[in-house]
Structure 1
Amino acid sequence: MEKTERDIQTLVGQISSGEIKLPEIQRGYVWKPTQVAKLIESLYRGYPTGSLLFWRTAESPATRSVAIGGQQANPAVQPLFLLDGQQRLTSLHRVLNDHSEAQIVFNVETEAFQNQSAATAKDPRWIKVYELARVGAQQYQLISTMQAALPRLDPNLIGERLGRLAAIRNRAFHMEILAEFPYEEIAQIFVRVNSGRPLKTSDLALATLSARWSGVLQKLEDEADHWAQQHYQDLDVTFLTRALTGTVLGRGLSTWSHGRLVAASDEELEKGWATVQRGLRHLIPLLRENLKVSNSNLIPSHVALLPLIVLLGEHPDTGLDAETANGIIYWFLLANLRNRYSSSTDTRLGQDIPAARGPEPVKKLLSNLGVNGAHFEVTPQDLIGRTVGSPYFFLSFLAAKNAGARDWWYSTEISATAEAGQKLEYHHIHPQATLRNHKKDYSKTEINDLANLAFISAKANRKISDRSPGEYFVDPKPPLLTEEELAAHFVPYDESLRHADAYRDFLNARRTLLARAMTELLDRFRPAWMDETAVVSDPLAGCSLEFTLYQSSWDAGRIVVNAKREDDEWTGTFGFADLESVIEAANGGLDSDLEIAGEPVPVRTESDTVTIPIGPFLASGTIDAWRKTLEREKADAQPLSRCPVVEPRPWEGERLLFPVTSIE
């Protein structure tokens, strides 16, 4: 290992000249402007910014492009391959070359850094870092201009601060250079270097695959582009990496996956990739044409696609009979409804992928779900407390789509691929404005209940605005809604249910209509060999979990939890900042504790899934799903002064798995 130092200006120049390249094992550039601004501030203040790790080799490994907004030149010397430090060096190159997404500015008065905005562009206190730190910058002229614009500031202070900012290009990074290592070993080093960081298992798996199979990244990116053009943009490189590794390993990703991928033969990888491509080209048309899933963002769990990719990718080259095709769709719907992969994803894929490869795969998959030989019926009780994060939301769209539901402005059939004013939105039939602070004290969960949501265009939503259905259902101007048009959305026509006082009666009536339509849709795909007498119910029927954040400008605040399970109701509290901390710890792969209702409970992390015991439930979901929940609560935060006093009541008894996407 060689050790040396180089300044930022030199390193940035080497990126442009192609003397620093990215091996294919690297993930893509992911930093946001806020992170770039913090890096520049750290350099300005003289804070540590870490070292860089490179690889020098006589080989010509596959590379990926650097996200600098242009092509690198062909190097005149042997290049170095960057293993650790991509985000930092790419960010610095962007700032020092005036990249449109790295317009970092500096406030000479407050010494703050941020991305350029309309306000900072008009404020003379802000100067673009590029103007000072770029090669050939006229520092003295800039200082004079700034002094003239800010006469109240000490000229010497302005000069000192701008000089310090300009000097960041001369800051040196410590470099370690690995030489004479083969690609396979470099991949192992890359995995180990990144294993203690918030790098996802799919990133590490891709790094391992890149070392084993040159050119795999290009294959994945080309496939992702193909599906993005067909509105299946969620079948991205990360998803395809999971699909390929799942096909090769026969289970989900875990810490042992990387060693097993290294041992995989070229034949196994080629065969696995052929299975993924063939499986997708059979599965997506089946979902799109038979189930009307025209956009991948409708699908609650993309993991549920993986066993079906294997099933269809390895299916003999014979016709697919209607019974099997329907059974595949039926399993897919039930796997989403029963939150099959909301926790223990690796374990469950380890059951379902082998099942997809065995004899009678549909029967075996349904057996793994616990519904083989039974009739799954959606009841109004199942829909209580369900909101946009629930898989029943997905099912309600499919039911409306299959019923020929039309938009309430354009009269076109609702479409998940519509654009501009016709872009699909979910609309509160009874507007939130008339339900909040109502004398009947409707809860947040009731207001956002699935039974209060309809799918209409953005323009129709704006036209209706906050009007009551008692008004806009009968408005003579568009949208004039007939009984037939409302029925296609499963909206009861009863005039007595159009006013806020009768809102709970409206919810009950619409749940009945929705449940019947959902069951009929499921029955369309249920294989004929399944027993119609044995009925399987949803284990979460009648359950709900609601968060309410109480916060102030000086206090991160507390979340009050209200949980309902069967006839029991539980209330508890925990610190909002504490929840943020455990989610970030989980992002680094660490388990931790969270104090809820006066006692610490264990927070468990498996891959990117976090499970937290909250009252009668084990709330489980991906890190991204938890983060979205946190952001939603911050947006809906109530004043801390309204926070109720809740006596600690630790939960005693068994807990039921509850998906975080269904938390209201």
Structure 2
Amino acid sequence: MPVDKTEREIGALVGQIERGEIKLPEIQRGYVWKPTQVAKLVESLYRGYPSGSLLFWQTNDAPQTRAVAIGNPVAQPAVIPLYLLDGQQRVTSLHRVLTDHPQAAIVFNIENEKFQNQSAATAKDPRWIKVFDVLKPGVDQWELVGRLHQLNPDLGPNDISKRLQRLATIPSHKFHMEVLRDFPYDEVTQIFVRVNSGGRPLRTSDLALATLSARWPGVLTKLEDEALYWTQRGYGDVDVTFLTRALTGAVLGRGLSAWSHARLVAATDDQLESGWATVQRGLRHLVPLLQNNLGASHSKLLPSMIVLLPLIVLLGERDDEQLDTASANGILYWFLLATIRNRYSGSTDTRLGQDIPAARTEAPVKQLLGNLGVVDAGMTVTPQDLVGRTVGSPFFFLSFLVAKEAGAKDWWDSIAISAAAEGSQRLEYHHVHPQATLKNHTAKYSKAEINDLANLAFISGKANRKISHRSPADYFPTLGDQELATHLIPLDSSLRDADAYRSFLATRRGLLANAMTSLLDQFKPAWLTSAAESVDPISGSVLEFARYDNPSGDGVLVATAHGAGADWSGRISAVDLDDVLAAAAAGVNGDLVVGGESVPVLVDDDLIEIPIGPFLVTGTASEWGKVLGREKDDAQPMANFAEPKPSSWEGERVPFPVTSVD
């Protein structure tokens, strides 16, 4: 039973579909790709990336078929048709793009060469052009170049022409084809199941590690030994995955991407050896600096591990000379600012591609701070920066550091707070004003207010249980003023009653903000002499989730945003959100309806980005899972649900970490 191998152009495949010469056997599933996935395929073809092969079956015994999802009937074939076993999503998607299907209106940005589905914003932006308008029969390329240059005078006509010509070659891209001939239907079914039942797609870090293992035998043992070394020293998050990222960053000079493996294959043995030496040396300088000079004794305190990567390269490739105090402080200053400004909450690969080269310059700290927009002025934390921030915010990390520096002790055993404490002394965060009292108060405190960072203190689990739901008016008198002051808690007795809770929050935010600014100033480089600026780009912005469930388990999530120049609310299907997050965790982009608007769900390295109202909400699959799991636990009955007014968002979206969602 032969297997023929050949190649065929996309344009020819589209024609075969139109003529009914390519059909789908009944065993095929329906067409499921979202516009985001179609855009990703078109981009891969544009960039010349591998796009897989196609598997067909040809037989004289015509099987049952299902319709191809192209939106129009096909002709009766004049030849024996081919039955598509593997590649339906790709072939159908390309047919849709080349025939102007309304659900495949993929557009191309002539400036940054990106692709996405058409939206209200791209329709108004002269940098975007529909892919079909470039590929349709009889198009005048010179006319397109002239029109796009007129609309985008900063782009040279030669560059525009080259990009359009490159786009125009997509129909001539050839797919490798394998054709099974005369196989019986039952055996073809077995082949189909095996081909289409692969495991979870590799994440970029998995693929990089697999590539390194094949390219550099013994590397996994090196990574595991190094991970064990740091686990024994309190930095268990320096695991194999993180070390893979660090090694890739040191070798390639940027973060992981879907195409890092090809560049790792091309790396020489000397480059890999040098990169690994950089990682080991950098960690052995950086971790003690964080532990001893900053008080970040354990990696579980750090909101982001990615922020360490440029500093590993900086210290790992630095000449073997004394590290003066000013340089050490500058490194920690950038680390703090990059952390609380969520430097890597989106476009991780791009930003690491800026920061790792900056770490290799003669003035690395100045270059790194410049990438953050810090040139002349230092940074200050204002009370407004802390509004709406909660346990997931990087300011939570800062609040621990300032309490520890102030000498904060546990409210039961009077032992200095420590991330290393275990058992009954294990550190927890405590609601100063208890949640139970605030939830039922006549002032109708919102969830964001109740869980506000200014209502959290670091004490042991035992102390937390002893205090339980008691009011500060009840348990504060059992503590001395010093025990409260070191936790940055106001001593004014009038703020201890739930009626004055909002005044308590405002006052404590002021104390925390001053302490945080003082901490930053300890490490601020002397050449930052201008007036300080606010730290947080989402200062004063709040995003809240509330879930409502039916007895059947179907849920609705209502997102409410305040700040970023507007108040907005919108409905999201909890089931659909779970589905797109599950796909994103496997590396597959998707689409989601948010507030009546279809938005792309994109995977950037391990970060998942979802536009929600005025924000681009970002986080890892684990972070999304924790936030949504919390909402599921706190779900209200559907009887309490009030339908928000649908409202799309057309302005620029502000990056917002999902860990800051309340």
TM-score normalised by length of structure 2:
0.69
Which residue does 2:508 correspond to in 1? 510
- Matched AA of 1:383: L
For the residues of structure 2 that align with 1:199 and 1:486, how far apart are their CA atoms? 50
State the 1:534 CA deviation: 4.9
- Matched AA of 1:470: A
Mapped pair 1:297 → 2:300? yes
For the residues of structure 1 that align with 2:202 and 2:427, how far apart are their CA atoms? 34
State the 1:487 CA deviation: 0.6
Which residue does 2:417 correspond to in 1? 414
Moved over 4 A (4+): 192-196
Map 1:480-559; keep pairs closer than 5 Å: 480-559=478-557
State the 1:566 CA deviation: 5.0
For the residues of structure 1 that align with 2:403 and 2:547, how far apart are their CA atoms? 33
Mapped pair 1:287 → 2:290? yes
For the residues of structure 1 that align with 2:649 and 2:222, how far apart are their CA atoms? 50
Contact 2:341 2:535 in 1 (8 A): no
For the residues of structure 2 that align with 1:175 and 1:283, how far apart are their CA atoms? 54
Give the match's secondary structure for 2:554. Answer: strand
- Matched AA of 1:465: S
Contact 1:196 1:588 in 2 (8 A): no
Which residue does 1:92 correspond to in 2? none
Which residue does 1:449 correspond to in 2? 452
Contact 2:564 2:654 in 1 (8 A): no
For the residues of structure 2 that align with 1:472 and 1:194, how far apart are their CA atoms? 59
Which residue does 2:309 correspond to in 1? 306
Give the match's secondary structure for 2:568. Answer: strand
Mapped pair 1:431 → 2:434? yes
- Matched AA of 1:583: L
Which residue does 1:607 correspond to in 2? 605
- Matched AA of 2:634: D
Which residue does 2:349 correspond to in 1? 346
TM-superposition CA deviations, 1:129-166 (whole Å, max 9, x none):
xxxxxxxxxxxxxxxxxxxxxxxxxxxxxxxxxxxxxx
Map 1:62-77; keep pairs closer than 5 Å: none
- Matched AA of 1:490: L
Mapped pair 1:655 → 2:658? no
Which residue does 2:560 correspond to in 1? 562
Which residue does 2:579 correspond to in 1? 581
TM-superposition CA deviations, 1:322-356 (whole Å, max 9, x none):
11100000000000111000110011001000100
State the 1:198 CA deviation: 3.5
Instruction: List alignment gaps of at least 5 residues for structure 1.
Output: 1-173, 177-191, 475-479
Give the match's secondary structure for 2:608. Answer: strand
- Matched AA of 1:324: S
Which residue does 1:472 correspond to in 2? 475
TM-superposition CA deviations, 1:21-58 (whole Å, max 9, x none):
xxxxxxxxxxxxxxxxxxxxxxxxxxxxxxxxxxxxxx
Map 1:37-48; keep pairs closer than 5 Å: none
Which residue does 1:634 correspond to in 2? 632
For the residues of structure 1 that align with 2:340 and 2:381, how far apart are their CA atoms? 10
Which residue does 1:625 correspond to in 2? 623
For the residues of structure 2 that align with 1:373 and 1:361, how far apart are their CA atoms? 15
Mapped pair 1:226 → 2:226? no
- In angstroms, what is the RMSD of aligned CA positions? 1.8
Contact 1:618 1:657 in 2 (8 A): yes
Indicate how the Cα distance of structure 1 residues 531 and 243 shifts in structure 2: closer, same or farther if over 3 A, else same: same
For the residues of structure 2 that align with 1:489 and 1:642, how far apart are their CA atoms? 38
Instruction: List alignment gaps of at least 5 residues for structure 2.
Output: 1-188
State the 1:552 CA deviation: 2.5
Give the match's secondary structure for 1:214. Answer: coil
State the 1:638 CA deviation: 1.0
Which residue does 1:260 correspond to in 2? 263
Give the match's secondary structure for 1:594. Answer: strand
For the residues of structure 1 that align with 2:481 and 2:550, how far apart are their CA atoms? 47
Contact 2:382 2:534 in 1 (8 A): no
Indicate how the Cα distance of structure 1 residues 246 and 566 shifts in structure 2: closer, same or farther if over 3 A, else same: closer
Which residue does 1:379 correspond to in 2? 382
State the 1:196 CA deviation: 7.9
For the residues of structure 1 that align with 2:493 and 2:532, how far apart are their CA atoms? 38
TM-superposition CA deviations, 1:573-592 (whole Å, max 9, x none):
11101111111121232222
Contact 1:196 1:589 in 2 (8 A): no
Give the match's secondary structure for 2:530. Answer: coil
Give the match's secondary structure for 1:198. Answer: coil
Map 1:19-30; keep pairs closer than 5 Å: none
Contact 1:374 1:536 in 2 (8 A): no
Give the match's secondary structure for 1:387. Answer: coil
State the 1:556 CA deviation: 1.9
Contact 1:279 1:312 in 2 (8 A): yes
Map 1:188-227; keep pairs closer than 5 Å: 197-227=200-230
For the residues of structure 1 that align with 2:313 and 2:280, how far apart are their CA atoms? 10
Map 1:356-375; keep pairs closer than 5 Å: 356-375=359-378
> With CA pairs under 8 Å and 6+ residues apart, which has the higher RCO, 1 or 2?
2
- Matched AA of 1:357: R
For the residues of structure 1 that align with 2:370 and 2:650, how far apart are their CA atoms? 31
For the residues of structure 2 that align with 1:211 and 1:568, how far apart are their CA atoms? 51
For the residues of structure 2 that align with 1:532 and 1:343, how far apart are their CA atoms? 29
Give the match's secondary structure for 1:555. Answer: coil
Indicate how the Cα distance of structure 1 residues 196 and 380 shifts in structure 2: closer, same or farther if over 3 A, else same: same
Q: Percent identity?
A: 63
State the 1:369 CA deviation: 0.6
